[in-house]
A and B are shown apart, each in its own frame.
Chain A
Amino acid sequence: MTRVTRRALLRTVNLVPLVALGSFAWGQGTRREPIRIGCTLPLTGPFADTGVWVQRGYEFWAEDVNARGGLLGRPVEVRILDDASSVERATSLLERLITVDRVDLILGGYPGTSAAAQMLVAERYRKVYISMGGHMASFSRGFKYSFGAPPLMGEWWYNGVWKWLGTIRPADRPMRAAAITLNNAIGQAVRQNMLEGLKRLGIPLVMDELYTLPLPSAEPLVQKAKATGADLFIANGFFGDGVQTVRAMKALNYNPKLFLQGVGSLIPEWVKELGPDGNYVVSGTAIHHRVPNPGMIRLVRAAKQRLGFDEPPQYFLFGYAWAQALEKAVEGSKSLKDDDLVAYLRANTIETIAGKLRFDERGLPEPYEYATQVINGKVELIWPVSARTATPIYPKPPWK
Chain B
Amino acid sequence: MESLLQAILSGLFVGSILALLSAGFGLVWGATGTINISHTAFSVAAAYLAYWLTSFGLWGFFSSLIAAPLLAFALGVLTYRSIVRPAAANVGELGLVTLVSTLGIGVALENLLAAIWGPGPRVLSLPISTEAIRVLDVSVPTSTLLAASFAWLGLIVLWFFLYKTYTGKAVRAVWQDPVGAALYGIDRDRVTDVAFGVATATAAVAGVAMALIYAFSPATYIEWLIWAFLIVIVGGVGSPLGTFISGLLVGVISTVVGLWAPFSWLPVILFAFLIGVVLWRPTGLFRI
Using known A-B contacts A217-B10, A220-B263, determine if residue A244 contacts B140 with beta carbons closer than 8 Å: no
Q: Which residues of A contact B140 (CB under 8 A)?
A: 251
Residue pair A251, B141 in contact (C-beta under 8 Å): yes
Task: Judge whether B185 is part of the interface by a CB distance below 8 angstroms.
Answer: no
Q: Which residues of B contact A239 (CB under 8 A)?
A: 121, 215
Contact of A273 among B125, B131, B250, B258 (CB under 8 A): B125
Chain A binding surface SS class: helix
Residue pair A217, B110 in contact (C-beta under 8 Å): no
Task: Judge whether B92 is part of the interface by a CB distance below 8 angstroms.
Answer: no
Q: Which residues of B233-288 have CB atoms within 8 Å of chain A's CB atoms?
A: 250-251, 254-256, 258-259, 262-264, 266-267
Contact of A51 among B119, B134, B224, B227 (CB under 8 A): B119
Q: Which residues of B contact A175 (CB under 8 A)?
A: none
Q: Which residues of A contact B7 (CB under 8 A)?
A: 219-220, 223
Residue pair A49, B263 in contact (C-beta under 8 Å): no
Task: Judge whether A183 is part of the interface by a CB distance below 8 angstroms.
Answer: yes
Residue pair B255, A217 in contact (C-beta under 8 Å): yes
Task: Judge whether B226 is part of the interface by a CB distance below 8 angstroms.
Answer: yes
Q: Which residues of A71-88 have CB atoms within 8 Å of chain B's CB atoms?
A: 85
Give A202-233 as 1s and 0s: 1 = Cβ < 8 Å from B's Cβ atoms: 00000001111110110111011001000000
Task: Judge whether B149 is part of the interface by a CB distance below 8 angstroms.
Answer: no
Residue pair B121, A49 in contact (C-beta under 8 Å): yes
Q: Which residues of A258-282 have CB atoms within 8 Å of chain B's CB atoms?
A: 267-269, 273-275, 277
Residue pair B217, A49 in contact (C-beta under 8 Å): yes
Task: Judge whether A371 is part of the interface by a CB distance below 8 angstroms.
Answer: no
Q: Which residues of B contact A275 (CB under 8 A)?
A: 125
Alpha-carbon separation in the docked complex, A223 to B215 (Å)? 20
Query: Smallest Cβ distance from A190 to chain B, in angstroms?
Result: 16
Contact of A44 among B114, B121, B132, B141 (CB under 8 A): B114
Task: Judge whether A252 is part of the interface by a CB distance below 8 angstroms.
Answer: yes
Contact of A247 among B119, B129, B256 (CB under 8 A): B129
Query: Nearest residue in A to B140 (C-beta to C-beta)?
Result: A251
Q: Which residues of A contact B130 (CB under 8 A)?
A: 247, 250-251, 277
Residue pair A251, B264 in contact (C-beta under 8 Å): no
Task: Judge whether B169 is part of the interface by a CB distance below 8 angstroms.
Answer: no
Using known A-B contacts A45-B219, A214-B223, A252-B139, determine if residue A219 contacts B10 with beta carbons closer than 8 Å: yes
Using known A-B contacts A239-B215, A250-B132, determine if residue A220 contacts B10 with beta carbons closer than 8 Å: yes
Instruction: Sample 15 A-B pairs with CB under 8 A, ordered by A number.
Output: A52-B118, A52-B119, A183-B264, A209-B262, A210-B264, A216-B18, A216-B227, A216-B254, A240-B215, A243-B214, A248-B141, A251-B132, A251-B140, A269-B122, A277-B130
Task: Given contact pairs A46-B222, A220-B256, enumerate 5 new A-B contacts (beta carbons under 8 Å).
Answer: A48-B219, A212-B266, A240-B214, A240-B215, A244-B214
